[in-house]
Structure 1
Amino acid sequence: MKTLHRRRHAAIVVAIGALALVTAGVLLYAYRYPALDASAAPTLDILDAQRAVVGQYHTPSAEEIASLGNADAVMFGRRLLNETARLLPENVGNDLNCNSCHMAEGKRPFGNHYLNTGGGSYPRYMTRPGKDIGLAERINGCLQRSMNGTPLARDAPQMRAMLEYMAWLSRTVPDGARVAAPSEGPIDTSLTPDRARGQALYAAQCAACHGDHGEGRRDGSGDIAFPPLWGERSFNIGAGMARLYKAASFIKHNMPPAASREPPLGQQVLPDQDAVDIADYFIHQPRPDFVGKGKDWPRDPKPKDARY
């Protein structure tokens, strides 16, 4: 009887030891080889003109494009927005792509998303040109300002493809409705910037990706990995990103893009003051001029952070 009891005790001890080893192995594997799959995209409310919820928006996956009747055009538009400098060398005058500023292929709230480019959102009145503009004109504005280049013809295949991609993203949004996802995140616009402090913060937190002199970084194949923030290969003074609080908002809610493995991937880790100081430093570094700046805000008051 005692022998049987000892055998059972020994078996239990061995089982517990084996379970402990397996658990330790699983934990070690998870630590050394973490799962990198992104979490499911959030479901967002769709609001009508009275801000009543009329539906739910589910951010589509690029895997869905293949089943579309216009799959080739949508996929080409997606590539153009990701690889603008490479695919439109005659129209892009620097080292930026559209999605250098429109995060996660235009799908991220607070990241200058494209989710509300459909649903009858364009034409819309914009204060900078002082008139109603269409979506093609809006894209050309980015080409001329953020990418310091030249506009595309409105009926160019490349323009049509980008419009097709944006239409695909917003295809479930009814006319007159909007996805409840702000394009830009809040920032305290009452803060006074400290440029010297911003320079020190830039060196400590931004230069590793964007370069000591704001020149940006390329990957091993020569493609743009991190865009330049100043210099001749960056956005010109007419770009929205050249404005203090727009740049600070973008930094606050999108940078750094991978501070952790959990959504929202580490963004919003900077205090507002840090974001304002960093923005003030880099927007005041040398960059190209914009020849059409004298025509901006012809009817409405200039925003207080306008550079000219």
Structure 2
Amino acid sequence: MTTRMHAAIPAAVALGLALTFAAGAGHAADDLRAQKELAPSPDAGEAGYHQAPSPDAIPDGAFGDSVRRGREAFIHTRKNAGQYVGNGQECANCHVGGGTVANSAPLWGAWPVYPKYRGKNDHVNTMDERIRGCFTYSMNAQDSEAGHPPPPDSQVLKDMQAYMFWMAQGLTVGKAAPGRGYKAVPKPDGGYSIDRGKTVYTKECAICHGDDGRGRFAADGTQIFPPLWGPKAYNWGAGMHRINTAAAFIKYNMPLGKANPAAAEGVLSDQEAWDVAAYINSHERPQDPRFEGDIASTDRDWHNHTCLYGDERDGHTIGTGAKAQ
């Protein structure tokens, strides 16, 4: 739904998508599903951002082997955990640089703040469950060969957590690190325009992601650039379907190789980032796994944030979903 909350909402953080409980004592039971974004991460200051160790420094032995497998699973998810991936995405599409880059949802920024409560599923999540959630929403695991995300405590989840733990060494447990998540982009005073966003997309994005938003793949199926909508994109439950989250990612990460998230240097203006985020997220994608049988109730219960799910556009109700092919 178009936001019915505050006019400006900070970007989602911690693996790009972490949420906290927003309900207070005495609220109605439905408020258990209320969500609000985490506060922005602190400024880096003179100390700068955390620097993850080089892959060359991964130790030998069983632990090092697990770290290496976890790194490969994050960067080449469809190759190394493909039975749980139901679309054309890789974890590294949202966590660039193998999850090492500040202000691009670095994996080291998420590790110190878990376990934590998440309003998205209304209970305390371990990191094991948090990653399973990424498979469920961003990787659309329900359409995968397995039909579900990796089982709890499975080897791939252990390996991914080993990689995160190794990268986060030196950070303080329970304390938010500068550069965690995406750097928020204020909502423009005039809001956003899907039509303007189409113009931005055509000029800046289509060359890589295609005019149809379906991404680009090699003949053997290897992803070159990820799909942004359609059946191989992230689904309607993924954090990236939020316009503010997508705007924050786009502003400081796209076009790839031109923007610099660690330096908080963008190519697009704030307005352009919001407009193109709205255009991308005005297109259909796989259905929200929390779908309750109709768009209206799913919208009411799970989409009370800055998104287009449930909105009407050109005689179409956004959120019908794109079927797997």
Q: Same fold (TM over 0.5)?
A: yes
Q: Where in structure 1 are there 5+ consecutive unaligned residues?
A: 1-48
Distance in 1 between residues matched to 2:278 and 2:262, nearest whole Å = 25
Partner of 2:135: 143
Say which SS state the counterpart of residue 199 (structure 1) adopts: helix
Q: Retained in 2: the 8 A contact 1:128–1:296?
A: no
Seq. identity, %: 30
Among 108, 113, 117, the residue aligned to 1:115? 108
1:292 to 290, 298, 305: 290
The aligned residue for residue 172 of structure 2 is: 174
- Bigger radius of gyration: 1
- The letter of the residue matching 2:255 is P
Give deviations 1:164-223, integer Å, cap 9, x for gaps: 000101122233334222311121225411111111110111001111100111247541
Cα distance in structure 2, aligned partners of 1:221 and 1:257: 23
Deviation at 1:259, TM superposition (A): 2.2
Greater relative contact order (Cα < 8 A, sep 6+) = 2
Counterpart contact for 2:213–2:230, Cα < 8 Å = yes
SS in 2 for 1:115: helix
Distance in 2, Cα, partners of 1:259 & 1:52: 24
**Selected match of 2:181 from 183, 186, 211:** 183
Residue 303 of structure 1 and its aligned partner are, at CA, apart by 2.5
The two structures, once aligned, show a CA RMSD in angstroms of 3.1
The equivalent of 2:36 in structure 1 is none
Q: For residues 167 and 157 of structure 2, what CA distance do their matches in structure 1 show?
A: 16
Q: Is the 8 A contact 1:259 1:265 kept in 2?
A: no
Amino acid aligned to 1:292: R
Cα distance in 2 for residues equivalent to 1:265 and 1:307: 33
> Alpha carbons of 1:93 and 1:69: their partners in 2 closer, same or farther (altered >3 Å)?
closer
Displacement after TM superposition at 1:98 (Å): 0.8
TM-score under structure 1 length normalisation = 0.74
1:60-139 pair list within 5 angstroms: 60-67=53-60, 70-119=63-112, 121-139=113-131
Match of 1:249 in 2: 248
In 1, the alpha carbon distance for the partners of 2:262 and 2:128 equals 30
Q: Structure 2 vs 1, CA of residues 56 and 93 (structure 1 numbering), >3 Å: closer, same or farther? A: closer
| One-letter identity of the residue aligned with 1:307 | Y
Deviations 1:32-63 (A, max 9, x none): xxxxxxxxxxxxxxxxx9x9999984321111
Aligned equivalents of 1:212, 1:296: Cα separation in 2: 30
Give the secondary structure class of the aligned counterpart of 1:125: strand
| Range that drifts further, 224-233 or 83-92 | 83-92
Q: TM-score, normalised by structure 2?
A: 0.71
Structure 2: stretches of 5+ with no match in the other structure:
1-41, 142-147, 311-325
Count of aligned residue pairs for this structure pair: 257
Preserved contact between residue 128 and residue 153 of structure 2 (Cα < 8 Å): no
